[in-house]
Amino acid sequence: MKLMKKGQVGNIQGFVMAIVGVAVVLAVGLIVLSELKGSTTTDSDAYNATGTIIAKLATVPTWIGILITVALAFIVLGYFYTRG
């Protein structure tokens, strides 16, 4: 972790962009899957499979929150480690 100016930490931009990219891809994927589910009949296997995939993908934002929390903890710990 590189300290640039007061209050700025280098190399965080890549992490933030990766999280934003994952969130955008997840949101677009869920929108496409919900449209696909709406276009199929309610008794078909495709309808059931799409519903299962949507339910599984809906748990991903929880993991993103945990990932952000852990990364921020490492950033704070790294700041104090390199400082002392």
**The token pair that represents 54 in the structure block:** 């949507």
Secondary structure of residue 39 in the 3-state scheme: coil
**Among 52, 49, 48, 58, which Cα is nearest to 27's?**
58
The span from the CA of 25 to the CA of 44, in Å, is: 27
At 25-81, the pLDDT tens digits run 999 999 999 999 999 888 899 899 999 999 999 888 888 889 888 888 887 887 787
The pTM score is 0.68
